[in-house]
Chains A and B, each alone.
Chain A
């Protein structure tokens, strides 16, 4: 509600103070470690060298190029699926909804391995395909979410005025979807540009992006200044993309009239069947690597076998691992639980503060700024963050560097933006007058949150926790850096197994991947059962 007078109200000041909490968390567990790494690099000099070297700019070119190609591919593949989810009344749509999301939450290492099962030599094509594979869900869900809430009658009106179907799509539907498409493209680009596990597994040392190069330079070459320079570059690019995304989101941010889905879906006619067929083709294509991985996990040179799964109780061929696969799996579950709990508390708190700031009389840039800051961890190399932890966190009481809390904290940082993006839009869409109705009935501001906002956002929160859990389960970048050798998570174990020779090792890796994938798929299907409103930005 616009307020009559300028100046800060008490509630605006309160919200601004509350904003310090998420900002403080971000400051200690994100900004500080990242800045420390950058400073470390700057102090050693050589940043200028790195920035002027042709090699660096080739890396930048490849990073952006593969991200652009992957984004374009994800958009092309995602749009028909978005149409299917939002507009078409055909059986099996629920299945498609779940099938599309599974790739998004699959551990990057798993995806990398799945594509390597199909392209044993790696290369640029599988990198682009794998990145797009991940992100079709982002496009389909973000665009489909808005599409499902766009009034179909505008399109009907255009058709009645003589526009052909494609013409109506281009002149009416596409402009209405532009904010969602822009927002999805920005997020996908970000994911692809900073994608780590996939590029590492499929690109090796031949095809390197900024993200993997930072890792290689830090871990293998100890070239901190080079890594810092690259981090700076990456950070700048990410910030630019985030700002573009925020602009797109703001344009899309109108109060919604939540419509019944049924009145919007129709049985496809004519050319629309072509779009539906394309959507199904995309879904089938998405399933190919998944099935390939499952097949690979049970096939050996001697035929079908469950050896890989059986070997998970051990430590691999010639003791490749410090702990058994089962122990690693249990550790994964524990760590992901802690990380999810942390991310939910922090993410909900952040979303509440952002919405509170918007509703109060606080200046708009404060809410926008916090909103964007919360997205930053998505775009900064997890490797940088992980390494930053090692450099800085000894300054905190109770040396965190050796604490088992370190990995959950890092994973929570990765998961939090996801929670925010899923909870925030729902909170934002709640009609202010609904809250006012509660207030006039005697509910204090705090009670309004408890009685109106939280119940309405409840299902989204549960879904966010579910997604957060599987993402934490599969997190690789930061975890690979921080997990102690005696307490690895399953993705770390997979990477380690793949890097060592031995058929049993690779068999075990594929089996572990299959397990991760099954857990992930089960979680996603459960979440789909919740029937959360489609209005999420992932």
Chain B
């Protein structure tokens, strides 16, 4: 995509986006709802007409290629299975459109259903499937005609959490096994990082940062991106030999190769950046305390400022207690360009 813009009336839902997807690469478009990521996906699929810029495949402009000739598979948030066809009929649909022979179709349907873990479901009615099963069928259906590019629009967000986490792992494996080139739209960091080789972070219709998930997570490009990635607090710090010194002590931020140069930086602190630690250098007072699944979240006053921190469930301090804190490198991001 080059300089891609999509407008609704006067409002640009997507403006001036450049993005490349390499063969066999899975790229996640990550951003809050309403940031234009789904619109971007629809423009790539050919369902929206771009107001400017171009979508090209292997250097060929796709502007005049209608949706059904693009060879891009699309998986919707809620499956959108054909209710009048059974599971096999849904999966075989794309192959039928491409004139694949009957025996070959049946063979590939079996193979794909096996792949998504629904072997033997061929004759089932799609209306009788659970949400997770429907989504697997939708995926098999999109993969069946061997699309050049697979577009996934929030493929897991309609499912409940446990299922979502399980399916995200399955989906990542599936995409790698199938060697699929894919563009995944999601608002969920975990999902993006599980699925993608590369993440493109969108806000306000623009791509703000692209890179491998780990890099985007640890080196958000600016404070706004950092905040979307969970860094509630941004503090100035000074780096020396890969160790950042800031108001709440010291924390290792770079590796041994010195990937974070010495000098002033800004640190983004996630809620897990500070841990209750009897050996910690800083003392604060617990203001609030909330139990989560596997830890306790604290709101701690240090001096005049308030910070989030975590404590183990077994040794959680009560409200009003003093608590000692230390910084955890895993909860700290260094803002790039700072």
Do A440 and B8 have beta carbons less than 8 Å apart? no
Interface residues of B in 70-120 (CB under 8 A from A): 70-74, 76, 80, 82-84, 93-94, 97-98
The answer to the question of B20 belonging to the interface, with a C-beta cut-off of 8 Å to chain A, is no
Cα A458 to Cα B8 in complex, Å, equals 35
Do A436 and B74 have beta carbons less than 8 Å apart? yes
The answer to the question of A310 belonging to the interface, with a C-beta cut-off of 8 Å to chain B, is no
Do B97 and A443 have beta carbons less than 8 Å apart? yes
The answer to the question of B7 belonging to the interface, with a C-beta cut-off of 8 Å to chain A, is yes
Type the 1/0 row for A434-458, where 1 means its CB is closer than 8 Å to any CB of B: 1011111111110100011001101
CB of A256 to closest CB in B, whole Å: 13
B contact residues around A437 at 8 Å (CB): 74, 76, 80, 82, 138, 141
Interface residues of B in 135-170 (CB under 8 A from A): 138, 141-142, 145, 151
CB of A115 to closest CB in B, whole Å: 43
The answer to the question of B124 belonging to the interface, with a C-beta cut-off of 8 Å to chain A, is no
The answer to the question of B182 belonging to the interface, with a C-beta cut-off of 8 Å to chain A, is no
A contact residues around B7 at 8 Å (CB): 4-5
Residue among B6, B80, B82, B98 making CB contact with A442, cutoff 8 Å? B98
The answer to the question of A431 belonging to the interface, with a C-beta cut-off of 8 Å to chain B, is yes
Do B80 and A441 have beta carbons less than 8 Å apart? no
Cα A438 to Cα B73 in complex, Å, equals 10
Do A440 and B73 have beta carbons less than 8 Å apart? yes
Interface residues of A in 407-460 (CB under 8 A from B): 431, 433-434, 436-445, 447, 451-452, 455-456, 458
Do A440 and B45 have beta carbons less than 8 Å apart? yes
CB of B97 to closest CB in A, whole Å: 4
A contact residues around B51 at 8 Å (CB): 4-5
Residue among B9, B80, B98, B138 making CB contact with A431, cutoff 8 Å? B80
B contact residues around A434 at 8 Å (CB): 80, 82
Interface residues of B in 14-56 (CB under 8 A from A): 45, 47-49, 51
CB of A519 to closest CB in B, whole Å: 31
Do A3 and B94 have beta carbons less than 8 Å apart? no
Residue among A3, A440, A443, A444 making CB contact with B49, cutoff 8 Å? A3
Residue among B48, B68, B82, B83 making CB contact with A440, cutoff 8 Å? B68
Type the 1/0 row for B56-73, where 1 means its CB is closer than 8 Å to any CB of A: 000000000011111111
CB of B34 to closest CB in A, whole Å: 15
CB of A450 to closest CB in B, whole Å: 11
A441-B142, A442-B145 given; A1·B47 CB < 8 A = yes
Do B68 and A443 have beta carbons less than 8 Å apart? yes
Do A442 and B8 have beta carbons less than 8 Å apart? no
Residue among A433, A442, A444, A458 making CB contact with B76, cutoff 8 Å? A433
CB of A261 to closest CB in B, whole Å: 13
The answer to the question of A2 belonging to the interface, with a C-beta cut-off of 8 Å to chain B, is yes
Do A441 and B73 have beta carbons less than 8 Å apart? yes
Cα A118 to Cα B94 in complex, Å, equals 62
B contact residues around A443 at 8 Å (CB): 68, 93, 97
- Of A436, A442, A444, chain B has the most CB atoms within 10 Å of the CB of A442
A contact residues around B68 at 8 Å (CB): 439-445, 447
CB of B238 to closest CB in A, whole Å: 48
CB of B149 to closest CB in A, whole Å: 10
- The residue in chain A whose Cβ has the minimal distance to the Cβ of B127 is A260
Do A442 and B49 have beta carbons less than 8 Å apart? no
Do B49 and A447 have beta carbons less than 8 Å apart? no
CB of A462 to closest CB in B, whole Å: 14
CB of A445 to closest CB in B, whole Å: 8
B contact residues around A447 at 8 Å (CB): 68, 97
Residue among B8, B45, B93 making CB contact with A438, cutoff 8 Å? B93
Do A451 and B83 have beta carbons less than 8 Å apart? no
Cα A431 to Cα B70 in complex, Å, equals 22
Do A440 and B80 have beta carbons less than 8 Å apart? no
A contact residues around B70 at 8 Å (CB): 440
Do B83 and A456 have beta carbons less than 8 Å apart? yes
Interface residues of A in 15-61 (CB under 8 A from B): none
A contact residues around B145 at 8 Å (CB): 441-442
CB of A367 to closest CB in B, whole Å: 20
Do B74 and A442 have beta carbons less than 8 Å apart? no
Residue among A2, A433, A442, A444 making CB contact with B94, cutoff 8 Å? A442
Do A2 and B73 have beta carbons less than 8 Å apart? no
CB of A432 to closest CB in B, whole Å: 9
Cα A445 to Cα B49 in complex, Å, equals 16
B contact residues around A444 at 8 Å (CB): 66, 68
Do B80 and A433 have beta carbons less than 8 Å apart? yes
CB of A460 to closest CB in B, whole Å: 12
A contact residues around B142 at 8 Å (CB): 440-441
A contact residues around B94 at 8 Å (CB): 441-442
CB of A6 to closest CB in B, whole Å: 9
A contact residues around B82 at 8 Å (CB): 434, 437-438, 451-452
A436-B67, A442-B94 given; A5·B74 CB < 8 A = no
Cα A458 to Cα B271 in complex, Å, equals 56
CB of B153 to closest CB in A, whole Å: 9
Cα A135 to Cα B136 in complex, Å, equals 47
CB of A82 to closest CB in B, whole Å: 26
CB of A443 to closest CB in B, whole Å: 5
Do A2 and B8 have beta carbons less than 8 Å apart? yes
- The residue in chain A whose Cβ has the minimal distance to the Cβ of B74 is A440
B contact residues around A441 at 8 Å (CB): 68, 73, 93-94, 97, 141-142, 145
- Of A2, A438, A440, A456, chain B has the most CB atoms within 10 Å of the CB of A440
CB of B184 to closest CB in A, whole Å: 15
Interface residues of A in 266-283 (CB under 8 A from B): none
B contact residues around A445 at 8 Å (CB): 66, 68
Do B67 and A451 have beta carbons less than 8 Å apart? no
Interface residues of A in 340-356 (CB under 8 A from B): none
Cα A168 to Cα B186 in complex, Å, equals 40
A contact residues around B72 at 8 Å (CB): 440
Do B67 and A440 have beta carbons less than 8 Å apart? yes
Cα A5 to Cα B74 in complex, Å, equals 24
A contact residues around B45 at 8 Å (CB): 436, 440
CB of B175 to closest CB in A, whole Å: 17
Interface of B with A (CB < 8 Å)?
A: 6-9, 45, 47-49, 51, 66-74, 76, 80, 82-84, 93-94, 97-98, 138, 141-142, 145, 151
Given contacts A436-B80, A440-B67, A441-B73, 14 further A-B contacts (CB under 8 A): A5-B49, A5-B51, A433-B76, A436-B45, A436-B67, A437-B80, A439-B47, A440-B72, A441-B68, A441-B93, A442-B71, A443-B93, A445-B68, A447-B68
The 9 closest A-B pairs by CB, nearest first: A441-B94, A442-B97, A440-B74, A439-B67, A437-B80, A455-B84, A4-B7, A439-B68, A434-B80
Q: List 16 A-B contacts (CB under 8 A).
A: A1-B47, A5-B51, A437-B76, A437-B138, A439-B47, A439-B68, A440-B67, A440-B70, A440-B151, A441-B97, A442-B68, A442-B69, A442-B94, A444-B68, A451-B93, A456-B83
Interface of A with B (CB < 8 Å)?
A: 1-5, 431, 433-434, 436-445, 447, 451-452, 455-456, 458
